[in-house]
């Protein structure tokens, strides 16, 4: 008959082994990994004042670019300009939608469409909108056509794009939200490429 103390010792050894195995499954290293993942996710979701200002300013800035792009059809301009204007509209409307969604996620009110027309002072809480055209600039563009319109449009849009690049660079310098910063990088790359393209059109074309 087995000795009772030996049986008890064997059971204690099994229990200790099981307990040790369970403890390994929830090691401090695993806990740290989980915490780090949570912190990374939180960092991507939060936004500071620079991120909010960037989004609130870039929306009306893009809206003015859309207004200019929608003037192009029917102006007796080159097919290259028609294509470029269509590409500007196709790229910037989705960016407006993304910026609006980010602001809502951050519990920050997005600007109303058309709230900041050309020539009106920028409201508090919105970063400066570099490269915005004045009301007079937009009226002059609207009243032109043909080669004169094309040249004026290209000159204005180069300045407008340069302003967007400045605003996006400000976001990279000051913002912390990963999605806003990624969008700023996309804006810089796309608009610099379009600036080069428009300057090439200005130099090689006959726009009056």
**pLDDT at position 45:** 73
**pLDDT at position 121:** 43
Q: Which of 7-16, 59-68, 107-116, 117-126: highest mean pLDDT?
A: 59-68
The per-residue pLDDT for range 113-147, each reduced to its tens digit, is: 554 444 444 444 445 688 999 999 999 999 999 99
The CA distance from 112 to 98, in Å, is 15
- What is the span of the domain harbouring residue 31? 4-39
Q: Is the pLDDT of residue 208 over 80?
A: no
Q: How confident is the model at residue 41 (pLDDT cuts 50, 70, 90)?
A: very low
What is the residue-averaged pLDDT of the chain?
Answer: 80
CATH number of the domain at 115, please: 1.20.1260.10
Q: Which residue did the predictor score with more confidence, 65 or 44?
A: 65
| 118 in the same domain as 83 | yes
User: To the nearest whole percent, how much of the chain has pLDDT over 70?
Assistant: 69
Evaluate whether 194 touches 64 at the Cβ level (below 8 Å). Answer: no
| 182 in the same domain as 85 | yes
**Count of structural domains within the chain:** 2
**pLDDT at position 207:** 53
Q: Closest Cα to residue 174, out of 77, 85, 64, 53?
A: 53
| 65 in the same domain as 26 | no
The per-residue pLDDT for range 24-35, each reduced to its tens digit, is: 444 444 444 433
| 15 in the same domain as 88 | no
**pLDDT at position 51:** 97
* Phi then psi dihedrals of residue 81, to 5 deg: -70, -40
| 141 in the same domain as 77 | yes
| 21 in the same domain as 85 | no
**pLDDT at position 111:** 86
| 152 in the same domain as 52 | yes
Q: Is the pLDDT of residue 7 over 80?
A: no
| 144 in the same domain as 54 | yes
| 10 in the same domain as 62 | no
| 54 in the same domain as 28 | no
Q: Which residue did the predictor score with more confidence, 198 or 1?
A: 198
Q: Is 110 helix (H, G, I), strand (E, B) or coil?
A: coil
User: To the nearest whole percent, how much of the chain has pLDDT over 90?
Assistant: 65
Q: Cα dist. 105→54, 60, 87, 190 in Å?
A: 15, 19, 28, 25
Q: Is the pLDDT of residue 12 over 60?
A: no
| 159 in the same domain as 64 | yes
| 52 in the same domain as 32 | no
């Amino acid at each position: 008959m087995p000795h009772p103390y030996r049986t008890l010792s064997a059971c204690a050894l099994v229990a200790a082994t099981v307990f040790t195995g369970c403890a390994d499954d929830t090691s401090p290293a695993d806990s740290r990994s989980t915490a780090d993942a949570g912190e990374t996710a939180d960092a991507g979701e939060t936004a500071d004042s620079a991120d909010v200002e960037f989004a609130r300013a870039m929306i009306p800035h893009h809206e003015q670019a859309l207004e200019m792009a929608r003037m192009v059809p029917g102006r007796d301009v080159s097919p290259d300009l028609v294509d470029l204007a269509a590409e500007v509209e196709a790229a910037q409307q989705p960016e407006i939608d993304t910026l609006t969604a980010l602001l809502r996620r951050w519990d920050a009110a997005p600007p109303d469409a058309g709230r900041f027309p050309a020539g009106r002072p920028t409201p508090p809480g919105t970063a400066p909108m570099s490269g915005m055209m004045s009301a007079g600039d937009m009226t002059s563009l609207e009243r032109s056509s043909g080669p004169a319109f094309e040249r004026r449009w290209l000159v204005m849009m180069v300045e407008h794009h340069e302003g967007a690049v400045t605003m996006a660079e400000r976001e990279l310098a000051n913002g912390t939200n990963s999605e806003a910063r990624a969008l700023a990088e996309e804006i810089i790359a796309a608009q610099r490429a379009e600036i080069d393209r428009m300057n090439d059109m200005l130099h090689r074309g006959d726009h009056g």
